[in-house]
A and B are shown apart, each in its own frame.
Chain A
């Protein structure tokens, strides 16, 4: 299945992959509109991706 080219190095993807309740992220962003993913955008720009940044652009209120 084609999808985001950064899946392998994305630390959030394993959670979207293994946790059924989180699969919406995977369908919507990782294998769907990955160009809309905030993490993808920063990676493509060569910028640092905050660990707690969700694909939607919101920040996960944990970590760091």
Chain B
């Protein structure tokens, strides 16, 4: 622990201010709450969509309405031949709706993940600390030896568990711990208490055992 306490970290308040600024700026800029695991989820969704066959594009409102009518018949059965007249159309509103359907769907959002890696690397380089990407720390090395494969296996397993946990919980430390708690969401507060509390308990237990 003394090793961590004496490490030349940047001021804690600077990190807190940066996270707070991002938590406010992100939804203002994108219209969506900040949540790193959700961004990762949407990146995977984009990859999945790329492998799916590309549906044809619509070029006009009437074309879209025809497709909707066909989908309506498929869902609810044949439409009455002498159906009601359409309500007075607000073409401006429908045009806006069509624009909304064609709006960019957050394809640039995964770049946030790239930025995180770059930011982390820049921060480490700027700190002047010795970089040991495969080391899990002195305590781990003393107990299990400096094995690259073991460290890689532990990191991989930990990543899988974190990934599963965040998807089951519907968010991670950023989504629940920062955004959700800031918004007073009860589920986020409970989630944060849960993963933070069990993390502290587990760290304490490991330190006691080693």
Contacts and interface: CB of A to CB of B under 8 A. Distances in A.
Interface of A: 11-15, 17-25, 28, 45-48, 50-52, 54, 56, 58-64
B69 A63 contact: no
B38 A46 contact: yes
A52 to B, nearest CB: 7
Interface string B151-181: 0000000000000000000110001000000
B22 interface: no
A27 to B, nearest CB: 10
Nearest to A56: B75
B143 interface: no
B75 A22 contact: no
B75 A58 contact: yes
A19 B64 contact: no
Interface residues on B, range: 35 or more
Interface in B85-127: 85-90, 93-94, 96-98, 100-103, 105-106
A19 B70 CA distance: 13
A25 B87 contact: no
A46 to B, nearest CB: 6
Q: Which of B71, B90, B105, B175 has the most CB of A within 10 A?
A: B71
Given A14-B94, A47-B41, A63-B55, A19 B102 contact: no
A18 B87 contact: yes
Interface stretch (B10-18, B76-84, B199-207): B76-84
B72 A48 contact: no
Contact of B55 (A12, A20, A47, A61): A61
A12 B38 contact: no
B182 to A, nearest CB: 14
Contact of B90 (A11, A14, A47, A62): A14
B42 A15 contact: no
A47 B41 CA distance: 8
B56 interface: yes
Contact of A15 (B64, B83, B102): B64
